[in-house]
Amino acid sequence: MFYEWVKPVVKGAEGLLRGMSIIGKFTVMLSFIPYLASYWFMNLTELIPITVTGLVMGVVYLVLIGDSIRRLRPLILVWILSEATGLLVVLMSKGGLNFIMLLNVTILSTLILVLLIGVVVSLALLSLSEVRYILSIMGLGTLGESLVLSLRYLLNASIGMDEAYMVLKSLGNVKPRLLVNSLVANGVRYSIILAQYIEYYGIPSVKPRIALRRLDSIALIPLILYLTLLTLRTTLA
Amino acid sequence: MLVVSDLWARYGNGDWILRGLSLSLKDGEVGLVIGDTGSGKTTLVKALAGVIHLTGGLAKGVIKVNDTELSGAEPRERSRLIGVLYQDPAIHFIYPRVDEDLELTAIENDVSVNAILNTAGLSNEVLGKLVTELSMGQLQRLAIAKLITRGVKVIIMDEPLAHLDQNAVELLVTLIRGIKRRGISILILEHRYEHVIGSVDKVLQLNDGKLSELSSLSGLTRRRYIIRSVSSNTDGGWLKLSNVWFKYDDSYVLRGINLSASSSRVIFIGPNGSGKSTLLKLILGVVKPSKGKVIVDHSHPMLYMPQDVNVVMSMTDTVEELYIELAKAAGRNASIEDLKRELKALEMHINTSDDPLHLSEGQKRILMLTMAKLLKPTLMIIDEPTSGLSSRYSFELAEFINQSNLRVIIATQDLHFASLIRDSDVFYVKGQEGYVAKVNVSEYVL
Sequence-separated (6 or more) residues with CB below 8 Å from residue B166: B271, B413, B415
CA atoms lying within 13 Å on the CB side of residue B179:
32
Q: Give percent of chain A with pLDDT exceeding 90.
A: 24
CB contact under 8 A, B311 and A182: yes
Confidence at residue B255, expressed as pLDDT on a 0 to 100 scale:
93
Residue A10, pLDDT score? 85
Q: What is the pLDDT of residue B77?
A: 83
Interface TM-score (ipTM) > 0.90: no
Region A119-126: mean pLDDT is: 88
pLDDT at B141: 93
Residue A44 confidence (pLDDT): 87
A199 with B100: Cβ contact below 8 A: no
Our CA angle for A120, A121, A124, nearest 5°, is 85
Mean pLDDT of chain B: 87
Question: Cβ of B270: how many Cβ atoms within 10 Å?
Answer: 23
All structural domains of chain B, each given as residue ranges with its CATH number in brackets, are: 2-220 (3.40.50.300), 226-445 (3.40.50.300)
Average pLDDT over residues B278-305: 88
Of B92, B306, B326, the CB nearest to A171: B326
Q: Does A152 touch chain B (CB under 8 A)?
A: yes
The pLDDT tens digits of the residues spanning B17-65 come to 999 999 999 999 999 998 876 678 888 988 888 888 877 888 899 999 9
Q: Is B100 in the A-facing interface, judged by CB distances under 8 Å?
A: yes
DSSP, collapsed to helix, strand or coil, labels residue B255 as strand
Of A32-41, A45-54, B285-294, B397-406, least confident by mean pLDDT is B397-406
**What pLDDT digit, counting tens, does each position of B70-90 carry?**
877 887 888 889 999 988 899
pLDDT range class, residue B233, cuts 50, 70, 90: low
Find the CB nearest B132 among A159, A169, A173: A159
Reported confidence tier of residue B369, pLDDT bands at 50, 70, 90: confident
Of B107, B378, B93, B136, whose CA–CA distance to A198 is shortest?
B93
As a whole number of angstroms, the longest Cα–Cα distance in chain B is 68
Pairwise CA distance, residues A181 & A130, whole Å: 34
Is A204's CB within 8 Å of B101's CB?
Answer: yes
* Inter-chain contacts counted by CB atoms under 8 A, chains A and B: 162
Question: What is the distance between the alpha carbons of residues A25 and A12, in angstroms, rounded to a whole number?
Answer: 12
CB atoms B328 and A173 under 8 Å: yes
DSSP, residue by residue, B87-149? SSGGGG-SSSBHHHHHHHHHHHTT--HHHHHHHHT--GGGTT-BGGGS-HHHHHHHHHHHHHH
B91, B286, B310 ranked by CB distance to A194: nearest:
B91
User: Is B130's CB within 8 Å of A3's CB?
Assistant: no
Average pLDDT value for residue range B434-440: 86
Contacts of B285 in chain A (CB under 8 A): 169
State mean pLDDT over B210-217: 80
Which residue of A14, A169, A171 is the best one to mutate when testing the B interface, meaning the one whose CB has the most B CBs within 10 A?
A: A171
Question: Could you report the per-residue pLDDT of B383-431, keeping only the tens digit for each?
Answer: 988 876 777 778 888 888 888 888 899 999 888 888 899 889 999 999 8
Residue A217: pLDDT over 90: no
Task: Give residue limits of the domains in chain A.
Answer: 13-127+210-236, 140-201
Is B315 at the interface with chain A, CB within 8 A?
A: yes
Is the minimum CB–CB distance between A64 and chain B shorter than 8 Å?
no
In chain B, which residues have their Cβ closer than 8 Å to the Cβ of A149? 94
- A3 contacts in chain B (CB < 8 Å): 132
Query: How large is the angle between the packed helices A141-171 and B319-330, nearest 10 degrees?
Result: 50
Q: What is the DSSP annotation of B59-102?
A: EEEEEEETTEE-TT--HHHHTTTEEEE-SSGGGG-SSSBHHHHH
Categorize the per-residue pLDDT at A50 as very low, low, confident or very high, splitting at 50, 70 and 90. Answer: very high
pLDDT surpassing 70 at residue A209: no
B window 249-308, beta carbon within 8 A of A? 281, 284-286, 300-308
Contacts of A167 in chain B (CB under 8 A): 303-306, 311-312
pLDDT at residue B214 greater than cutoff 70: yes
**What integer pLDDT is reported at residue B78 of this predicted model?**
85
Mean pLDDT of B342-363: 83
pLDDT at B249 over 90: no
Selected residue with higher pLDDT from B408 and B165: B408
